[in-house]
């Protein structure tokens, strides 16, 4: 007993310690920062390497979109004709394998890490060494008989210096893979020491937009090499063109009075856009020959305007726009290649657009089936805009009775089209807001989905059935809800399969199809004892397989309870189903009242509500028929009139609005309709004089619309519906439903009797013998339980959940991620051939700061962080990245400028830049110190004359005059 108490106390202490450690971890969750080793409780620190081992590189610093665990900061090479040595300074954030300079042909030997000898392995032909976390200095030697031209070096090495005798190269030439040129001359070195020759390549493309006026957009692509200079191009405007816009973002540009385009060109790629207009009727555009360097060939793209005219263009050679350098948006147009001189002709085939856009209409329909099923009444609501036709003809399977509209039009005169002999209405306005009532004979099994001579953008049909009728299913619609077939899902099928399989296993295999049939027939009934069958079958399984004992006796009690529930549910099911067959009106009214009560309780305005003053009341979802009787439990805004409103009684509206003793002709509130199809409020309020009918005309009043609302199913379409689309309805009459219900009750009773007889206690005295496999399963379960109970005794091992939480907190991204680096200000000094950058870098958590670059343009020879040299760098995607800890740092970079120009991409753009550049011109920084994403330095050059004083400016008479253009306003 004493030993048991001691073990219990020890287990309690272990559980308490685990809870304390978990609480410590949870308490740090509010900071949302990555835990450091010192912040981890002492009981878990020894597990840190364990949990981080499976994390891998995910625990290392994130540089752009890659994790960097090894920072190969600086490589020093000292080479000669017979051999060489290297010294690599780096930092590793975790135990990892680091590549070394060299290859299988030039293998490093005598490699040491500090004072220890290193183990260098061949990994895919690259020498590599495994290093633990920390700062390291790796040294080694090379041996060769002849100095190689190229030495393989890992591309992630940030800086490389090469010493050959007394000559030191601080920025040697490197290839894309990081390899360093040692001896001889690298390709291009001879040219690098010389001034780059001046070159200018021009590509011209034009887009011609048909319209009034015709607009031509000229795109001039330039590739400039050599020193900065002024470039004068021949007038780029076509004959008769008037300048609208000149856009040249990357270099200064202007037009002179004679139309010459002057550019202050500099090295690089540039784009100039010019827009010009041509007035009048343009039948031809001439491409004349221009002086060099303007190209002799141009690519033109034609953009027609079919709303204005139908055209045919000719001139030049038709080409595939996808095989040109046309902008992406221009590649969808016709493209031609023209060689100057050439003429581009435009021939007008037809004015205007013979094919206007289609009508934009929406249709909502309500269908009432007669009580005896011998006919049906339909009300259609059409709203939207007509764009190509001014008549709507009815082509449905029925007789059109009435067409109306909101006040003040009310009713439309139905006429017959002599050409088609179809009834319909004439329209005089583009905005459409109509309701139409029509009547069909027979069962509505096959119907036209639209029924009008137009396509519709949206369609919804509400099928309202009298008591006793039910919708089995429908075809031709995207969704049908509710119906007997649409209510099925995967869970229903799974439940039926489980019940059928269990019944066949516990009883007889013939019971399985019987159970499946009963479940299918009772699927749509809200009264079927679904769960009672499941409970009975569950207790049957327990009685069948449990051994004699306490559990067996408890199962017998559960079986009696399940049997009682099933008998009661089966009797209730039969009674309610028979009542629904004998008194279908009562059931339908209860359902309708329950829906109204739910709507009133939830206080939710249903879709397309028209709860207006004295008006029709709340419009039920999918309901588009005539105005029904008011439901007193729902109240309107003022008069307590609410109900299924569809076709309002405008005479009653006037009486209600006028009030006692008022003017019955007082204006009614606007008839609220859906504006989603393009009918504006302003159009609705326009007087409809031109749509009013002849006062002597006999207006059709229709057949009348039912007012009841019982069972309703809604058919919906997603997207446009063509006028010829057909739908099919499968309806169950009261006689059919009575037959199915009687069959369901009889089969359900039969199945229940079979289950009760087979499963009652004592009915099956023989039980299946337990096999060796059953015994093995039980033994395995007992062993698992025993082993699981013994785990808490091992207090030295934290739980898996605790270790997972520790791993999560050790690898959690910092709270500032992804914006953990901000450059507050930067000072850029350029003097002679040296550039110095001093940046104030704010770091929220350990991260990398991308140095201005790319490395192929400029590599700093001096890198200092807070006044101390730093070698924790890595080269990634052509840029150098500096690893910085959290805090504010002063980063100083200095290095030589090769050539007369330098463009640096800043990476993290400083909020303020101060430039001190003596003898240099700087682009990319405005007067307020705001910088672009890149800064361009260009060595200042003297003027060609050089005679006058530096501050002398030309007189206004001597200054060149720019092109003056007339004002142009586009509305």
Identify the CATH number of the domain defined by range 199-351. Answer: 2.60.40.3650
* Residue 761: band (very low, low, confident or very high) from pLDDT cuts 50, 70, 90: low
Give the residue-averaged pLDDT of 590-617. 46
The larger pLDDT score, comparing residue 169 to residue 580, is at 169
The larger pLDDT score, comparing residue 945 to residue 844, is at 844
Give the residue-averaged pLDDT of 656-681. 40
C-alpha 503/C-alpha 495 separation (Å) is 12
Looking at 46-50, 177-181, 754-758, 934-938, which range is the least confident one? 46-50
Give the residue-averaged pLDDT of 248-276. 87
Per-residue pLDDT tens for 472-531? Answer: 888 888 888 888 777 777 777 787 788 778 777 777 777 788 877 887 777 777 777 777
- Is 2.60.40 the CATH classification of the domain at 360-485+722-732? yes
The larger pLDDT score, comparing residue 826 to residue 819, is at 826
Per-residue pLDDT tens for 871-930? Answer: 888 888 888 899 998 899 999 999 888 777 888 888 888 989 999 888 888 888 888 888
Question: In which region does residue 32 sit, left (phi positive, over 0), alpha (psi from -120 to 50) or beta (all else)?
Answer: left
Indicate whether 614 pLDDT > 60.
no
pLDDT at 285: 92
Three-state secondary-structure class, residue 779 = helix
With b meaning 16 or more CB within 10 Å and e meaning fewer, what string describes 893-918? Answer: bebebeebbbbbbbbbbbeebebebe
Strands lying side by side in the sheet with 309-314: 284-287, 342-351, 309-314
Q: Which residue has the tokens 């296993």?
A: 505
The CATH class given to the 821-939 domain equals mainly beta
* Residue 703: band (very low, low, confident or very high) from pLDDT cuts 50, 70, 90: confident
C-alpha 221/C-alpha 553 separation (Å) is 92
Give the residue-averaged pLDDT of 458-464. 90
843 touches 885 (CB < 8 A) = yes
361 touches 454 (CB < 8 A) = yes
Indicate whether 764 pLDDT > 70.
no
pLDDT at 76: 92
Supply angle C-alpha 715, 721, 726, rounded to 5: 65
C-alpha 507/C-alpha 510 separation (Å) is 8
Per-residue pLDDT tens for 194-237? Answer: 445 788 999 999 999 998 899 999 999 998 887 778 889 999 99
The larger pLDDT score, comparing residue 390 to residue 626, is at 390
907 touches 841 (CB < 8 A) = no
pLDDT at 53: 65
* Residue 592: band (very low, low, confident or very high) from pLDDT cuts 50, 70, 90: low
The larger pLDDT score, comparing residue 26 to residue 915, is at 915
pLDDT at 655: 33
Give the residue-averaged pLDDT of 638-647. 37
The Cβ of residue 48 has, within 10 Å, a number of other Cβ atoms equal to 15
Per-residue pLDDT tens for 130-176? Answer: 999 889 999 999 999 888 888 999 988 988 999 988 888 888 888 88
pLDDT at 696: 55
Indicate whether 644 pLDDT > 80.
no
Per-residue pLDDT tens for 743-754? Answer: 878 887 887 787
Indicate whether 866 pLDDT > 90.
yes
- Rounded to two decimals, the pTM is 0.39
C-alpha 705/C-alpha 424 separation (Å) is 19
Bridge partners of residue 458, in order along the sequence: 362
Question: Where do the structural domains in the chain lie, given as residue ranges?
Answer: 1-68+787-812, 76-180, 199-351, 360-485+722-732, 821-939
In 3D space, the residue among 150, 164, 159 whose CA is nearest the CA of residue 102 turns out to be 150
C-alpha 741/C-alpha 581 separation (Å) is 9
Phi and psi at 97, nearest 5°, equal: -100, 130
The larger pLDDT score, comparing residue 283 to residue 710, is at 283
Supply angle C-alpha 115, 118, 121, rounded to 5: 170
Sign (positive/negative) of CA torsion 520, 525, 528, 531? Answer: positive
pLDDT at 444: 85
Fold match between domain 199-351 and domain 821-939: yes
* Residue 307: band (very low, low, confident or very high) from pLDDT cuts 50, 70, 90: confident
104 touches 120 (CB < 8 A) = no
Looking at 657-671, 675-689, 697-711, which range is the least confident one? 657-671
The number of residues making up the chain comes to: 971
Looking at 119-123, 238-242, 689-693, which range is the least confident one? 689-693
pLDDT over 90 for what percent of the chain? 17
């Amino acid at each position: 007993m004493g030993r048991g108490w001691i073990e219990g106390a020890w287990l309690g202490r272990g559980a308490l310690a685990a809870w304390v450690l978990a609480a410590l971890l949870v308490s740090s969750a509010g900071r949302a920062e990555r835990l450091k080793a010192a912040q981890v409780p002492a009981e878990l620190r020894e597990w840190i390497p364990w949990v981080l081992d499976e994390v891998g590189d995910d625990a290392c610093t994130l540089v752009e979109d890659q994790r960097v665990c090894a920072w190969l900061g600086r490589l020093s090479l000292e080479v000669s004709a017979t051999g060489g040595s290297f010294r690599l300074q780096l930092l590793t954030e975790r135990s990892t394998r680091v590549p070394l300079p060299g290859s299988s042909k030039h293998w490093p030997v005598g490699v040491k890490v500090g004072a220890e000898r290193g183990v260098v392995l061949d990994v895919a032909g690259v020498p590599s060494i495994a290093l633990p976390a920390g700062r390291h200095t790796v040294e080694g030697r090379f041996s060769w008989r002849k100095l190689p031209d190229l030495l393989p070096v890992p591309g992630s090495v940030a800086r490389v210096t090469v010493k050959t005798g007394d000559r030191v190269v601080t920025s040697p030439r490197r290839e894309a893979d990081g390899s360093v040129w040692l001896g001889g001359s690298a390709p291009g070195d001879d040219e690098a020491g010389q001034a780059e020759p001046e070159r200018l390549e021009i590509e011209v493309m034009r887009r011609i937009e048909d319209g009034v006026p015709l607009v031509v957009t000229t795109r001039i692509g330039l590739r400039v090499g050599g020193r900065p200079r002024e470039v004068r191009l021949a007038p780029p405007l076509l004959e008769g063109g008037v300048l609208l816009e000149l856009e040249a973002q990357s270099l200064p540009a202007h037009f002179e009075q004679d139309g010459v385009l002057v550019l202050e060109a500099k090295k690089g790629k540039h784009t100039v856009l010019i827009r010009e207009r041509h007035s009048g009727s343009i039948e031809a555009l001439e491409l004349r020959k221009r002086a060099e360097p303007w190209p002799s060939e141009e690519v033109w793209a034609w953009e027609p305007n079919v709303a204005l005219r139908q055209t045919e263009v000719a001139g030049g050679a038709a080409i595939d726009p996808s095989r040109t350098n046309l902008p992406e948006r221009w590649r969808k147009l016709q493209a031609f290649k023209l060689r100057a001189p050439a003429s581009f002709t435009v021939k007008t085939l037809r004015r205007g657009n013979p094919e206007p856009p289609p009508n934009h209409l929406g249709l909502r329909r309500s269908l009432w089936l007669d009580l005896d099923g011998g006919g049906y009444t339909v009300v259609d609501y059409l709203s939207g805009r007509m764009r190509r036709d001014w008549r709507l003809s009815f082509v449905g399977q029925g007789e059109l009775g009435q067409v109306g509209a909101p006040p003040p039009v009310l009713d439309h005169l139905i006429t017959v089209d002599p050409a088609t002999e179809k009834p319909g209405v004439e329209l005089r306005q583009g905005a459409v807001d109509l309701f139409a009532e029509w009547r069909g004979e027979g069962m509505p099994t096959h119907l036209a989905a639209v029924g009008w001579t137009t396509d519709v953008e949206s369609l919804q049909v509400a099928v309202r059935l009298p008591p006793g009728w039910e919708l089995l299913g429908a075809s031709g619609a995207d969704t049908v809800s509710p119906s007997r077939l649409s209510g099925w899902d995967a869970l229903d099928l799974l439940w039926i399969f489980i019940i059928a399989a269990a019944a066949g296993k516990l009883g007889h295999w013939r019971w399985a199809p019987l159970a499946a049939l009963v479940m299918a027939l009772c699927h749509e009934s809200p009264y079927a004892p679904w769960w009672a069958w499941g409970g009975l079958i569950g207790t049957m399984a327990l009685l069948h397989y449990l051994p004699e004992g306490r559990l067996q006796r408890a199962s017998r009690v559960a079986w009696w309870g399940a049997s009682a529930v099933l008998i009661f549910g089966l009797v209730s099911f039969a009674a309610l189903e028979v009542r629904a067959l004998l008194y279908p009106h009562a059931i339908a009214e209860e359902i309708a009242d329950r829906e109204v009560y739910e709507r009133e309780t939830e206080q939710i305005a249903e879709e397309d509500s028209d709860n207006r003053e004295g008006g029709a009341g709340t419009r039920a979802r999918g309901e588009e028929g005539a105005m029904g009787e008011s439901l007193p439990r729902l109240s309107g805004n003022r008069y307590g009139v609410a109900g299924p409103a569809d076709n309002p009684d405008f005479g009653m509206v006037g009486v209600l609005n006028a009030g006692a003793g008022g003017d019955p002709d007082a204006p009614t509130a606007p008839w609220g309709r859906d504006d989603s199809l393009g009918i504006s409020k302003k159009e609705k309020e326009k007087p409809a004089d031109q749509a009013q009918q002849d006062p002597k005309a006999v207006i059709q009043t229709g057949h009348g619309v039912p007012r009841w609302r019982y069972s309703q199913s809604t058919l919906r379409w997603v997207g446009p519906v063509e006028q010829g689309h057909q739908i099919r309805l499968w309806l169950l009459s009261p006689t059919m439903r009575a037959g199915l219900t009687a069959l369901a009750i009889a089969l359900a009773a039969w199945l229940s009797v079979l289950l009760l007889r087979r499963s009652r206690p004592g009915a099956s005295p023989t039980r299946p013998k337990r096999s060796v496999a059953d015994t093995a399963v039980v033994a395995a379960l007992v062993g698992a339980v025993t082993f699981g109970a013994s785990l808490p005794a091992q207090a030295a091992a934290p739980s898996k959940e605790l270790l997972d939480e520790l791993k999560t907190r050790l690898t959690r991204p910092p709270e500032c991620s992804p914006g953990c680096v901000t450059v507050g200000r930067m000072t850029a000094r350029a003097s002679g051939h040296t550039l110095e950058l001093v940046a104030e870098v704010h770091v929220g958590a350990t991260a990398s700061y991308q140095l201005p670059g790319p490395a192929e343009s400029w590599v700093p020879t001096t890198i200092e962080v807070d006044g101390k040299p730093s070698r924790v760098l890595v080269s990634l995607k052509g840029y150098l990245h500096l690893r910085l800890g959290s805090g504010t740092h002063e980063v100083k970079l200095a290095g030589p400028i090769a050539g007369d120009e330098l463009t640096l991409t800043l990476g993290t753009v400083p909020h303020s830049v101060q430039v001190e550049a003596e003898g240099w011109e700087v682009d990319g920084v405005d007067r307020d110190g705001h910088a672009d994403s890149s800064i361009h330095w260009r060595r200042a050059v003297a003027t060609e004359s050089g005679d006058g004083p530096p501050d002398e400016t030309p007189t206004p008479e001597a200054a060149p005059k720019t092109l003056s253009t007339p004002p142009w306003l586009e509305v």
